[in-house]
Structure 1
């Protein structure tokens, strides 16, 4: 891999949807860089600490939400002198989004009293009542025509479907949930997926007109769903649960196709490997790391916590990468075609983030060190970043939408852009 220099930032950095730019904030300054040349395209000042940084779908509009100041600032990459500011005042601000048109801003007031839609064209304002959450419970269809909104009315959960062209109601119905945790459209926009809070295991599939198509509830009387993750093509849905299992559901039949259990006792299996990170000192005296193999059967060290906290599909839904809180220093990779375990990768420290490339079978992950860890179907490898561990410890990852580069961030001081050399990586796999 090739790496950029350390780029200062304060916890918020995002690629544009077209992958040409990335924006990073440091203090009260927002800077937009070109992704490949890393030259500065634009800089703007914000008024207060940033709560959210978001690009519009057109890669021209950049939104900077500042919840403490109750202000949203919007900048335009095509016209650097243009800017807009939305002040919520005493109503407060708990969440903000850019509408699919990139010409409207959606805000939710503090205490979820109302949702406002602010037009950047004619400065008009529309509003909807009773949003349940301030920073979730809202999902746009992939074609941008509809918005689904979780609502709370007189102590009961409802779902509202609205046309994004005029924000009129398309349908409105009560949910069969005790306390809906979140919602999302399926990628083909035919259904809305809703799931209950973790105290009750219930996942519901609704048609846009309110018909329940399927209810999935494999057990009761224990902590249930941690997260729901759709595969990129929408064919599969991974339901990560607090019982240390991921259940894979098909999008047509809504039946369970497989169940991946994060057991600490690993037995021998066909095409199944356990990688173990090992330190060594290179010729220059620098401490580095590589992977060795653990013999099977083996028992992994576990904690008292349980639950699948990370669950990520690869670009073509053939593999699923997970992390269990019971073995926090391990990445589990599952073969979705054969419904079997493919690899377990053990690290010296707790795994912080895992991200698949959106264009190929390369998985990158971090464990709070100066290393980037990589896996593909050919094996696993360790990439030692050219920084001292005292100045940079990789925490989080984001691939550019075109899969050509990888943003690596530490705990809030610096971000680095990595440029994988894919031919070189193929030759380095363990």
Structure 2
């Protein structure tokens, strides 16, 4: 590994108590699930090992969604020892419990599974789940495609390795390796949509929840990624294999400006998954998803988070989510999966963003301390956020346990469930 940690996320120390981590749950980690040399494939830790990780997060710039989500209160060193995960499980002894593995969003550029935003204590305590939040490599370290350096998609290989680790090791933490649901939001959801093309993935999970998958961003071609990689290398003016984190992030920012100028969009990340590069086949398979249950959805005004006015965000919904999700659903069902959809319409009082991107996260993960002063929640008191969250968490937990969608807990709340689902109602 090359370089030294040079940056931190702002906030309180990492070992500050999380109020949601009550006696009802136990939290384990960070555990190292794999190691990797820079631009090398992940190497899984030995089976049966719960090797403590350093707690580093992948080097990254500030999130472009800080104005929407707020700034995380956690404090972490940034470094390349970032292939780690955290486990939250009910403290009471029980038969093996259903497992939910969460992959965070952040445009393949920011975030970490260790952030308190993604703590699974409430899901564990209320739903009886073992929740795993996993990190993966980001930006150029995870997705650079450049000849002689990296083919790309290392971040996806990391996620696949995390799922393999769960399969081999989660039983020691009270989880059922035969009842695993992978859940991703935004970039994490795009990742899962692509990993479902890999023949091994259906053997590692039974279900998947895709929250706000911007599927149009999952179509980067090898030649396009190579062009962006060449621009990055020129901006770096040095060897990516020995560059400091600051130099890598500086060239990444230049590449982001280049991509925005070329595409006219600041939603497109400068580095992301590449079709046809392992573990992503160029074309989706026509079979192989038999027995897989999928839940896919989005929020009504996703794109306000990226600068669109609310009415414009609603007008863009068809092109950005409804049509791409319908196309994904046709493929998944034809390949053997069962699929249900949802849309979150909640517009918190006092928020200028409405039902924006990431709004479901504080309903499902983290706690009041993690989400305090988050602009996307407006002026809604936390007890009201948590009441709605409890209903949504009940539906997510039911799906993770059984593969069924039970809309009953959210009756009276602004969530729309698809009516032509292949997944049975509870």
Task: Give yes or no for TM over 0.5.
Answer: no
Structure showing the higher helix proportion among its residues: 2
Larger Rg: 1
Higher relative contact order (CA 8 A, sep 6+): 2
Please give the range of the TM-score, normalised by the shorter of the 2 chains: under 0.3
Going by fraction, where is strand more abundant, 1 or 2? 1
TM-score w.r.t. the length of structure 1 is 0.26
